Amino acid sequence: QQFMLQHADTVDARQPLEQKARRDLATEKEIQQAIEEQQFELHYQPIISMRGGQTIGFEALLRWRHPRRGLVYPTEFIPLAERTGQIVAIGRWVLGEALNALKAFQMLVGRGSGPRPPLTALAEAAPEPAPRSRTPLFMSINISARQLFELQEIDAIGDAVMASGVDPKQVKLEITESLLVDDPVHAQAAIQLLREYGMRIALDDFGTGYSSLSYLHQFPMDTLKIDQRFVSTMGRDPKSYRIVRAIVGLAEELGMETIAEGIERNNQLAALREIGCDAGQGYLMSRPASFREARRLLQQKQVRW
């Protein structure tokens, strides 16, 4: 059962400003409490290789186990947490938790050993049997621009990864275009620094926001995440299909990997394969899963997603 948190960002215009401010303040206090009482949890959505159909990594997605409202989704509280700066503390917790999960997942499948069982849906569609993969699992972690404002905080991220003992190469930080747009000079320094630690950078939601193609060579990035908006229409809209094909081609030219988001249908999966997209995630393969569920998915011999 799911409850929505009445949030100030979705306030309607008739509501007095005073009321909005009061509610924001109340939510801010609740977030503070959530940080202290560890009401947050991470769910993990498998990221699947388009070629082999096996799980190559996970994206960590934040949820708030609210004592009264149930499971609250990030879009309901992250915007406020960004304004109040609380996202920095939340982000530190997310990083630590996601690194622990990555260690556990890697242990389960054997560090760098494969193959993992292909998803049946993919295996059926796959033109040939899944190739043996020797790539260790990675973890994708969403990072707010606000978390990268201070170089000190970036060093804290790097230190946490180094201290965790995971290979920094297997840590992928997802940033959005707003970071690049708002302060390109700082963004460049931030990305540079993160990469010096050995972490990978993914540009999230590519194709939505401002999407200047010049960013792609201005900022050194490893991965382009193709937004769900394109993926959801590419099965039936030839224009979307061509846009995605162009994005994948461009990424390839620039030496970047592509991950498609929000794959819900077999025809989308087939189209992405045809185009040569590297990897994907979506409800078709798996919804974001709790730690235990994700572990079970990895353990299963016959995965039926």
User: Which among Mg ion, ligand C2E, none contacts residue 262 (Cβ within 5 to 8 A by kind)?
Assistant: ligand C2E
In the complex, least distance from residue 268 CB atom to Mg ion, rounded to whole angstroms: 15
For position 76 contacting Mg ion by CB under 5 A, the verdict is: no
Residue 210 and residue 181 in contact, taking contact as beta carbons nearer than 8 Å: yes
The count of C-alpha atoms lying within 13 angstroms of the C-alpha of 15, restricted to the half-sphere facing its C-beta, is 13
- What are the angstrom distances between the C-alpha of 201 and each of 24, 159, 220? 32, 17, 8
Applying CB under 6 A, which of residues 205, 221, 247, 268 lies at the interface with ligand C2E?
205
Applying CB under 6 A, which of residues 194, 282, 297, 303 lies at the interface with ligand C2E?
282
For position 30 contacting Mg ion by CB under 5 A, the verdict is: no
Two tokens at 40? 């947050």
For position 261 contacting ligand C2E by CB under 6 A, the verdict is: yes
- What are the angstrom distances between the C-alpha of 238 and each of 1, 39, 205, 267, 268? 37, 44, 20, 13, 12
Applying CB under 6 A, which of residues 262, 275, 278, 280 lies at the interface with ligand C2E?
262
Judged by CB under 6 A, which stretch of 28-36, 177-185, 249-257, 275-283 contacts ligand C2E?
Answer: 275-283
For position 142 contacting ligand C2E by CB under 6 A, the verdict is: yes
Is 58 or 305 the residue whose CB approaches Mg ion more closely? 58
Is 28 or 261 the residue whose CB approaches Mg ion more closely? 261
* Collapsed DSSP state (helix, strand, coil) of residue 294: helix
Q: How far apart are CA 61 and CA 281, in angstroms?
A: 13
For position 272 contacting ligand C2E by CB under 6 A, the verdict is: no
Q: How far apart are CA 27 and CA 54, in angstroms?
A: 40
Per the listing, tokens 């560090």 go with 111
In the complex, least distance from residue 188 CB atom to ligand C2E, rounded to whole angstroms: 20
Q: What is the DSSP letter of 221?
A: -
Nearest to 272 by CA among 126, 120, 56, 139: 126
For position 205 contacting Mg ion by CB under 5 A, the verdict is: yes
Q: Which amino acid is at 296?
A: R
Per the listing, tokens 């461009």 go with 250
For position 142 contacting Mg ion by CB under 5 A, the verdict is: yes
Judged by CB under 6 A, which stretch of 64-72, 125-133, 140-148, 209-217 contacts ligand C2E?
Answer: 140-148
Applying CB under 6 A, which of residues 5, 31, 47, 62 lies at the interface with ligand C2E?
62
For position 267 contacting ligand C2E by CB under 6 A, the verdict is: no
Q: How many CB atoms lie within 10 A of CB 257?
A: 18
- List of residues contacting Mg ion (CB under 5 A): 142, 174, 204-205, 261
- List of residues contacting ligand C2E (CB under 6 A): 45, 61-62, 73-75, 78, 87, 94, 142-144, 174, 204-205, 228, 261-264, 281-283, 288
